[in-house]
Structure 1
Amino acid sequence: MFAPVHTALLLLTWTLLTSALAAAAQDLEPRAYSASPVGTNFIGIGFGRSSGEVAFDPTLPITNANATLYSPALGVGRTFGVLGKQALFTSTLPYAWGNISGDVGDQQGRISRSGLADVKTRLSINLRGSPAMTPAEFARRPHRRLILGTSLTMTSPSGQYDNTKLINLGTNRWSFKPEVGISYPLKKLDLDLYAGIWFFTPNKSFYTGHSSRSQDSLTAIQAHASYTFRRSLWAAIDATWYGGGASVVNDGVPSERQANTRLGATLALPITRRQSFKLSYSSGVTGNIGSKFNTIAGGWQYVWFGRP
């Protein structure tokens, strides 16, 4: 009896980890398409803590599934001009560790993992309302305008992965999210709406190296309302919904589609002219399967201007 229970626990913990790391991909990021002068560089250090339960298909004998994950990250970015439009490139190197526990039948198990997660990069271009401007031109800009932007986010198979282990921090696959976003200024308010779709390549070296795991596309929608108190000091209310993403191993039965909602809040605080701190909190509100984590994160950022 131990072997089937142990296998089920491995499946449980693998699903917990991948659900938690996938939740990180459902970023609640207000002002993602905000205007900035070209030649703006930034470097940031962030740290997040996620904890909570994971809901499974009710046909599975898995209960009391909980996880606590920690995720420091290093990020860099730069704005530049493309055909007269403002563009932004960012890259994030995350690390993750955590503990996961759950009951399979009448037995309880616990496991820990620590290592690098998949690198995430993003390229965005503001198609309207935010032309490429030098810092001097940006300072003379008469007023804010509606911004229409598009972006491509990518995660690479760079995280810790071993096909002899079912539980890994890396996904051993590529994922891509094309997205369009609108930012509408209304006095001191900024109203943002983004819509994108995640596409995943298959993991052809799934446990134990002789299986292939594939996943359907995952639709993600974000909405934000932020209020500026003064320069670099603002607060936002955030919401996201994502659905789809059923997965299958080889020719097995697909998992249930996801349909999850998260709400959160963000506060940005200036430290100096070049430094700022951002604090955010989000919580899973509804969901049929997947993670229902409470996540709190903080990040420090340093900005400087280089040659456009």
Structure 2
Amino acid sequence: MKRSLLVITILFLSIKTFAQGDGPKSHNFAPTGIWGINPKYLHLTQNLVPSGTILVDGAEFTIDVAPITLFHTFGIKGRYARVYAMINPGSATGNVEASPGVTSINANGFADGFVAMELGLINSPALTIQEFSKHTPTFTMTGNLRLWYSGTYDSEKLLNLGTNRWIIEVGTPMNIPLSTTPGKATWLETYPYMQFYTDNNDPARSARAEVTAQKAMFRIENHLTHNFTPKLWASFDFSYQYGGRTVVDGVDDDNLINILGGGATVGYQVLPYLSAYVGYGTVFAGDNDANVDMFRFSVAFTYANMKK
């Protein structure tokens, strides 16, 4: 057994990038025995709180975060499996409409992070790198379970990076090959999922509120990706999300999230063990004047043990 660098383009893992999702290649089927780290930088301007799950009428937030994800792929009874976890340092500033006028606010620390596991369901066997290199791409489906924990939170502050609650995310990532031409493959990545939220029993937005709850949210994230060369690829990214209305002491807020968003991404295999991409995303249409503009830069370092 020899320790060596992985010589194929592999996973980009991420923070759930607010209205723009995980990003392309986040749930690609992959060989087992891979370890990696995926740091990112995101700059966002939006009227959703830093977690991207609550719409705030009349607000404008500028958010800079640098999520770092660690991941490992392996096999469970012949099925592909992956565990991964993310921490998310960052900062945010913003303006909100408040009596008697506009209030400037800021926050620093950590946004919400997660621990997660993915397991093969359909056409997702546990393959070594050697086996994977001979594998013919086909439709794959995995099951993904992600548990989000709160980042930095202070109920005395109007703006927080953390949410002071847990989020349970359940979904089924799918990869659909449209063309398997060597070096010029085209495929569709789609990830439908639901998020369920526990209550915030120490809400910061109102001194009179005892509990802030939130209704479940559905989302589907899609990436149509094409390799122009074995190293250069691009994707058209599009997504839809619905739900997430907040409930304060049993009273529904008028902040339902109903957003159609998307953008574009360009990536390159810089070195055998180093991949990178840049992307832009925005809201195409949305209720309640929802708006998001996002710039994203991501790199992924990977390695594996390979048999001679």
TM-score (structure 2 length as normaliser): 0.83
Q: Give the equivalent residue in structure 1 for 2:78.
A: 84
Instruction: State how 1:34-113 maps to structure 2 within 5 Å.
Output: 34-53=28-47, 63=58, 65-104=59-98, 107-113=101-107
Write the deviation string for residues 173-222 of structure 1: whole angstroms up to 9, x where unpaired: 10011101321112121012221111001111223597111100000012
TM-fit CA distance, 1:144: 0.9
Q: Give the equivalent residue in structure 2 for 1:221.
A: 220
TM-fit CA distance, 1:26: 5.0
Do the aligned partners of 1:190 and 1:226 also contact (CA within 8 Å) in 2? yes
Secondary structure of 1:230's aligned partner: coil
Instruction: State how 1:200-211 maps to structure 2 within 5 Å.
Output: 200-207=197-204, 208=207, 211=210
Write the deviation string for residues 232-270 of structure 1: whole angstroms up to 9, x where unpaired: 432111111111111111123433421111111122211
Write the deviation string for residues 74-114 of structure 1: whole angstroms up to 9, x where unpaired: 11111011121111122111112122124447723211211
TM-fit CA distance, 1:53: 4.9
Does residue 1:171 correspond to 2:163, yes or no?
Answer: yes
Q: Give the equivalent residue in structure 2 for 1:266.
A: 265
> Aligned residues, how many?
280
For 1:307 and 1:290, the matched residues in 2 are separated by 52
TM-fit CA distance, 1:140: 2.5
For 1:233 and 1:253, the matched residues in 2 are separated by 47
Does residue 1:198 correspond to 2:192, yes or no?
Answer: no
Structure-2 change in CA distance of 1:256 and 1:24 (3 Å):
closer
Q: Give the equivalent residue in structure 2 for 1:301.
A: 300
Q: Which has the higher helix share?
A: 1
Do the aligned partners of 2:175 and 2:188 also contact (CA within 8 Å) in 1? yes
Secondary structure of 1:184's aligned partner: strand
Q: Give the equivalent residue in structure 1 for 2:111.
A: 117
Q: Give the equivalent residue in structure 2 for 1:150.
A: 143
Secondary structure of 2:131's aligned partner: helix
TM-fit CA distance, 1:224: 1.7
Do the aligned partners of 1:260 and 1:286 also contact (CA within 8 Å) in 2? yes
For 2:118 and 2:111, the matched residues in 1 are separated by 23
Tell which deviates more after alignment, 129-138 or 27-36. 27-36
Secondary structure of 1:289's aligned partner: helix
Tell me which amino acid in the other structure corresponds to 2:245: A
For 1:144 and 1:54, the matched residues in 2 are separated by 38
Tell me which amino acid in the other structure corresponds to 1:172: N
Tell me which amino acid in the other structure corresponds to 1:171: T
Structure 1 unaligned spans of 5+: 1-20, 56-61
Tell me which amino acid in the other structure corresponds to 2:262: L
Write the deviation string for residues 51-73 of structure 1: whole angstroms up to 9, x where unpaired: 14569xxxxxx64x322111112
For 1:264 and 1:225, the matched residues in 2 are separated by 11
TM-fit CA distance, 1:227: 0.4
Tell me which amino acid in the other structure corresponds to 1:80: F
Q: Give the equivalent residue in structure 2 for 1:249.
A: 248
Do the aligned partners of 1:258 and 1:290 also contact (CA within 8 Å) in 2? no
Structure 2 unaligned spans of 5+: 1-14, 50-56, 180-184
For 1:126 and 1:85, the matched residues in 2 are separated by 5
Q: Give the equivalent residue in structure 2 for 1:14.
A: none
Q: Give the equivalent residue in structure 1 for 2:5.
A: none
Structure-2 change in CA distance of 1:103 and 1:171 (3 Å):
closer
Do the aligned partners of 1:70 and 1:98 also contact (CA within 8 Å) in 2? yes
Structure-2 change in CA distance of 1:301 and 1:32 (3 Å):
closer
Q: Kindly report the root-mean-square deviation, in angstroms, between the aligned alpha carbons of the 2 structures.
A: 2.6
For 1:202 and 1:37, the matched residues in 2 are separated by 38
Task: Give aligned-pair identity as a percent.
Answer: 22
Structure-2 change in CA distance of 1:42 and 1:232 (3 Å):
farther
TM-score (structure 1 length as normaliser): 0.83
Structure-2 change in CA distance of 1:231 and 1:42 (3 Å):
farther
Do the aligned partners of 2:70 and 2:86 also contact (CA within 8 Å) in 1? yes
Tell me which amino acid in the other structure corresponds to 1:201: T
Tell me which amino acid in the other structure corresponds to 1:150: G
